[in-house]
Amino acid sequence: MPMREPRLEVRVLGEMSVRRGGEAVGLPASRKTRALLGYLAVTGEPASRSKLCSLFWDGPVDPRGELRWSLSKLRSLLGPRAAGALVSDGEAVRFDAGAVWLDLAAVRSAAARGIDRLAAAELVACEREFRGELLAGLDLPDCFRFDAWLIAQRETLRGLRVALLERLAGLTDGDLAEALRAARSWVALDPLSEAAHAAVVARLLDLGRPKDAQRQAETCRRILRQELGVEPGVLLERARVHRPPTRDREHAPSRAVTVAPAVATVTVQPAAARPGEPAPWVGREAELARASAAIAARAGGEGPRLLLVTGEAGIGKSRLLAELASTLAPGNGFALAGRGNEAGLDRAYGVWIDLLRSAPFAEVAGASREAELAWLAPGEHADREMERLDRERVADGLARVLSRRARDRPPLLLLLDDLQWIDEASIALLHLLLARVGEAPLLVVAAARSGELAPRGAASRLLATLERERGLLRLPLAPLSLEEAAALVRAISPAADAERVAAASGGLPLFAIELARSGGGADGSLPPPLAALVGERLAQLEAPARGLASWVAVLGEPCEVELLRRLSGLVPSELLAGLDELERAALLRVDAAGERYEVAHDLVRRAIYEQLPAPRRRFLHAEIARAKAERPEPEGGGAASMARHAALGGEAELAAQASVVAGERALRLDAATEAREHAERGLAQLERLGARADLGLRLGLLRVLVHATRGRPGRAGLPEEILHWTEVARGAKRVEETRIGLYLLAVLRAEEGNLAGAELMALRAVEAARQGDPAGAAWTLGNTGRCLAHIERDFARAEALLLEARELAEGCGIDVVEVHFGLGLVAAADGRGAEARAELERGLELARAEEDAWIASQCLIRLAMLALDRGDPAECERRCGEIEEISARLGEGAERAVAACLRALAGRVRDPETGSAALEEALALLRAADSKGMLAEVSSRAAALDLAADRLEEAGARAEEALANASTVGRRGQIARARLASARVARARGDHRAALEHLLAASAEDRPVGTLGGAVRAEIRELSKALGIPTPRSTPGRESVDIDRGDSP
C-alpha cells in the first residue's frame, strides 16, 4: 500500500519556501526555476507551455528545452511522491492546488469572505501570513512579461494587506497594543498615508502616551512636507484633538519627588543663562550620587569599568557627562572627552583621536613618544596613521599611557558621548583597551540614546560582555520632575512663567531650555514643536548666518571653517561674522577638539534641517557631496559621508561610487558590518539608476558585500545576483567585470565547503623551528613544505616554505633532501618539467646517499610521471624498474603497485590500442595497497588516454573513480584534475552544461588563489577557452581562472 504523502506547504508571501512534512525542501539555485514554481503556485491555473516559455525564456535557442529542464529539476526536488503536485497534461502545466497548502490561498479565502466580517483573531492570523512581498527576491528584470505580472500581483496584495491593517488598527475595543502594532505596520507599508499616521497617533493617545503621539504627528508632518510638499490635513488634526485630558508624564519619574515646598527640593548650580554656555545644572542628585560613587570606587581600582548613561534625545545625557567632569577637583583626577557623530561613522577611530587631542591633551603629553602613539604628535594625520597600525598594538600603547596617567592622578574619566554613533573600529579599540587596563583607576562614562544602539552592533556586544563580567553600571535618565524643570526655566529666563513652561516641556531639559530662551510663551495644550522655537531664533539672524546654519545642519558633522568657506562662498569677514552670530545664538559651538564647528545639539540640528524646503536640502546635500568629491581624503576617509550626501542629494552614481570606496575602507578596518551597510546602500542607489547603472560599480559593491559577509549569513540570493550580473557583463564583453563576478562566485562556492585549517599544527611547528637553530629550522621547514606539496594542499605556501628552508640550509652549508623533493613536486605541479626533473634527480641522489628508500622511491615515481608527461614511455618504464628494485627495501607499501600502474600507462602511450587488462590488474594491486591519492592520479591519467582513444564510457568511469578517491583524501590538485577529466568527457559527449559544472568545480579548488599548481590552472584556462568562456586577463599574483556555471555557451 502506498504511503500517504505529507502535504506540501508552499509559502509565497515573502521569500518562497516549500516544506514537506515540516521539513524544508531545498529550492533550485536557478532563480528562473524558482520563479516558475512561484508562478504556477500563485496562479493555480493550467498554463500552456508556450505561455510559460514566453514568460521566462523569450530568447534562448531552445525555450522548450529550458522549460523541460526546469520542470524536471522541480520534480526531482519535490521528490517522487510530491512531484504529483506538478501536473503536466500535454500542452499545459499546472500546480495541483489540492495537493498543497498555500499561504496565499489562506489569505485569499479570508478576503473572499469580506475583511469586515472577519473576527480580530482571524484578521491577525491573516495579516501574519504576510512575511514580505510576494515572491520576494524573484524579480526577473530580463523577463519583462513575468516581471509585469509580478508587479501587478504585488500591487493587488499590497492593497489587500493595507485593508487588513486598516481594519486591525481601527479595532479599539480589544487589544490596543495589537491595534497599535497594526497601525505601525500600516505606516511602514505606506509611509505617505496620513490615515495610517493618524491611526498611530490615535492608538498612542488611547494607550495614554501623549508624547509619543505628538512625536508621531511631527513625523507625519515632516514626511508629508518632505515627500509630497503638503501639510497634513484633517485626519491627523482629528486624531490629535482626541488627546485624553491627562497631563501625566509618559514615564513615571524614577524617584519620589517631594511635593512641597517644591523649590526647596531642587538645587540649582551657578546659573549660566547666557546662550553659548552650558545650561545650569538642576536636580538629578540621585544619578549624580550613583555616578560619583562609581567614580570613587574606580579611583580605588574597584567597581564597574563602564558607566552607561541612557535616555531619550534632549534628556540631558551630555550635560551629565560634563557635570561629572566638572566634579573632579583640580589636581585630582582628569577627564578626556570625545563623541560619536551620526554622519561621521566613517571617521575610523575618530572618537579616540578627538578624545586624545581634546583640551587636557597636555595631561597625556609625552604619550606620543610611545612608539604606538607617535601619531598623536601634533601635525600628524592621526586617522591615517592609526589605520595603518595594528589595533592590538595601539591598544597596548594606549593602555600603558592611560593607566600610568590614571595612577598618577586618579581617577581618569573617558567620556564617550553618543555611543550609538561611534564607529566599529573605535568600539573595538575600546574593547581591547578595557581588557588591558585591569585594575587601573580609569572609568569609561558613555552616553547613548535609548533604543538606538544596534542590537547586534559592536557597542551592544561590548556592553553585553561587560555586563557578564559585572563591569557595567547602567544609569537611565528619566525626565525632570515638574519642580526641577521649573527651576531650570527660572535659571535661564527669570521672567518666564516657569511652571507653565515646565509643564509644556514634559520634563525634557532641552525642550525646557529652548522654550525658556524663546520667552516661554506656551499656551495651547500642545507645546510648540522644537522646530518652531529654533525657527524663531533663526529668523532673527542675518542672512549669512542663516545660510551657514543651513550648511552646518545639512552637513550633520563637525566641519572645518575652510569647508564652510568653500560651500557658502562667503568672503572671510562675512564668514567669521556669521559664525560669531551663530555661536552667540547658542546654535553653533566649537567641538571638543577645538578644531571644528558643530551644531549645539542634534535635536537643534534636526530642527534647522527640517526648516529647509526639500528641494533646497537636496541641493545642499548634492553640493556637499560634490565638494567632498573634488577633494577626496586619502585612503577613502570621508567616503561614507560623501555617499550619504550624494544619496540625499539625488546623485545616485556619485553615491554608489563613494559607497564602494567607503565599503573597501571599512573592510580594511575589519568593520564588516559597516562595510556591508555601505555595499547595500550603494546597491540601492544603483537601483535608482536602473539601466544606466554602471556594471563596474555594481560588481565593486558586490565584491564589498561578499567580503563583508564572509563566514556569516550573507544576503539571500546573493550568488544568483552575482551570477546574473556576471552574465550581463559577459554579454557586454566586459572582461574585467566578468572576471570579478566569476571570482566572487568562486569565493562564495569555496565558502560553502570551507576546509578547516588542517595545517595549523604544522605551521606552529614551523614557527617554533624558526626560533631555533638554522639547520633544525631548515629541516622542519623543508619537511612541512614537502608535506604540503605532497598532499597538494597549498602549493603557494609549500613553495614559500621550501625556498626559506633552502636559504637556511645554504647558510649552514647543508643540503636537505626534502627541499629538493618538495621543490621538484612544486615545479612539476607548475608545469616546469625541466626544473622539476633537476630537483627530483638531486633529491634522488641525496636520498640514495642517505639510504632514505622512501624519498628515493617517491622521487622515482614523480620522475616516471614526468617521463609520461613528456611522452617518453621508455624512460618511464626504466624508472618503474628502479622503483620495483627499491621497493623491496621499503617493506610493505603502494610503491610496487604504482610502478605497475605507470608501466601499464606507458604501454598505452606506446600503443593507444592496448587493452585495459594490464592496467586493471595493476589498479587492483593499488586498491589492495589502499593508496587513494595514487588511485586518483592513475585514474585521471588513464581517463585522459581513454578520452584520446575515444573510449568515452571508460573515460567517464575513470574520472569518477579519480574524483571519489581524491575527495576521500582531500587532495585538491587531484580533485581539480579529476573534474577537468569529467569536464572533457562531458564536452566530448556534447553535454555543455555538465562540462561547465565540472569546470567551475575545478576552479573552485583554487581558493585561495595559488592553492593549485600552475599546470592545472593552465588546463582550466585552456578548457574555458575551448568551452567559449572569456578567459580573464592574467594579472600578477592572480593567474587563476574562475569559471561560473553559465547557462549558455
Q: Which CB, 709 or 965, lies closer to another protein?
A: 965
**Shortest approach of another protein to residue 893 CB, angstroms?**
6
Q: Which CB, 678 or 786, lies closer to another protein?
A: 786
**Shortest approach of another protein to residue 840 CB, angstroms?**
17
In our burial notation (b when 16+ CB lie closer than 10 A, e otherwise), range 193-206 reads bbbbbbbbbbbbbe
**Shortest approach of another protein to residue 919 CB, angstroms?**
19
Name 581's Cβ contacts closer than 8 Å, sequence gap at least 6: 541, 542, 545
Q: How far is CA 998 from the centre of its chain?
A: 30
Task: Tell me the C-alpha distance between 318 and 398, whole Å.
Answer: 24
Rg (CA), the chain: 36
* Contact predicate 1042/736, CB 8 Å: no
**Shortest approach of another protein to residue 898 CB, angstroms?**
9
**Shortest approach of another protein to residue 782 CB, angstroms?**
11
Q: Which CB, 426 or 783, lies closer to another protein?
A: 783
**Shortest approach of another protein to residue 842 CB, angstroms?**
19
Residue 113's φ and ψ, nearest 5 degrees, are: -75, -10
SS (H, E, C) 752-774: HCCCCCCCHHHHHHHHHHHHCCH
* Contact predicate 786/828, CB 8 Å: no
**Shortest approach of another protein to residue 979 CB, angstroms?**
19
Task: Tell me the C-alpha distance between 283 and 267, whole Å.
Answer: 6
- Report helix, strand or coil for 444: strand
Q: Which CB, 23 or 892, lies closer to another protein?
A: 892
* Pairing relationship of beta strands 472-476 and 306-311 according to DSSP bridges: parallel
Q: Which CB, 586 or 769, lies closer to another protein?
A: 769
**Shortest approach of another protein to residue 559 CB, angstroms?**
56
Task: Tell me the C-alpha distance between 478 and 875, whole Å.
Answer: 89
**Shortest approach of another protein to residue 808 CB, angstroms?**
18
**Shortest approach of another protein to residue 883 CB, angstroms?**
15
**Shortest approach of another protein to residue 54 CB, angstroms?**
51
How many other CB atoms sit within 10 Å of the CB of residue 71?
20
Q: Which CB, 612 or 765, lies closer to another protein?
A: 765
Q: Which CB, 523 or 892, lies closer to another protein?
A: 892
Q: Which CB, 293 or 768, lies closer to another protein?
A: 768
SS (H, E, C) 286-326: HHHHHHHHHHHHHHCCCCCCEEEEEECCCCCHHHHHHHHHH
Task: Tell me the C-alpha distance between 542 and 574, whole Å.
Answer: 10
Q: Which CB, 78 or 788, lies closer to another protein?
A: 788
Q: Which CB, 31 or 972, lies closer to another protein?
A: 972
**Shortest approach of another protein to residue 790 CB, angstroms?**
7
Q: Which CB, 817 or 1002, lies closer to another protein?
A: 817
* Contact predicate 1020/994, CB 8 Å: no
Q: Which CB, 524 or 757, lies closer to another protein?
A: 757
Q: Which CB, 162 or 763, lies closer to another protein?
A: 763
- Residues lying near another protein in the complex (CB under 8 A) are found at 758-762, 765, 783-784, 786-788, 790-791, 793, 854, 891-894, 929-934, 968-970
**Shortest approach of another protein to residue 888 CB, angstroms?**
16
**Shortest approach of another protein to residue 894 CB, angstroms?**
5
Task: Tell me the C-alpha distance between 191 and 431, whole Å.
Answer: 39
Where are the strands (E) in 324-420, listed by range?
334-339, 412-417
Its sign, for the CA torsion 444, 449, 454, 456, is: positive
* Contact predicate 95/48, CB 8 Å: no
Q: Which CB, 172 or 968, lies closer to another protein?
A: 968
* Contact predicate 888/925, CB 8 Å: no
Q: Which CB, 677 or 895, lies closer to another protein?
A: 895
Closest to 765 in 3D by CA, of 753, 755, 777, 750: 777
Residue recorded with cell 578595557: 434
For the chain, the straight-line distance linking the first and the last C-alpha, in angstroms and rounded, comes to: 47
Closest to 254 in 3D by CA, of 478, 506, 508: 478
Name 485's Cβ contacts closer than 8 Å, sequence gap at least 6: 282, 479, 501, 502, 503, 505, 507, 509, 512
Task: Tell me the C-alpha distance between 94 and 935, whole Å.
Answer: 49
Its sign, for the CA torsion 201, 205, 207, 209, is: positive
**Shortest approach of another protein to residue 958 CB, angstroms?**
18
* Contact predicate 775/809, CB 8 Å: yes
Closest to 41 in 3D by CA, of 184, 153, 186: 153
Closest to 876 in 3D by CA, of 846, 849, 851, 906: 906
Task: Tell me the C-alpha distance between 637 and 628, whole Å.
Answer: 10
**Shortest approach of another protein to residue 791 CB, angstroms?**
6
Q: Give the DSSP H/E element, type plus range, for residue 53.
A: helix 49-56
Q: Which CB, 526 or 929, lies closer to another protein?
A: 929
* Contact predicate 64/52, CB 8 Å: no
Closest to 591 in 3D by CA, of 351, 346, 414: 351
Q: Which CB, 197 or 932, lies closer to another protein?
A: 932
Where are the strands (E) in 116-256, listed by range?
none
**Shortest approach of another protein to residue 924 CB, angstroms?**
15
Strand partners, 102: 10
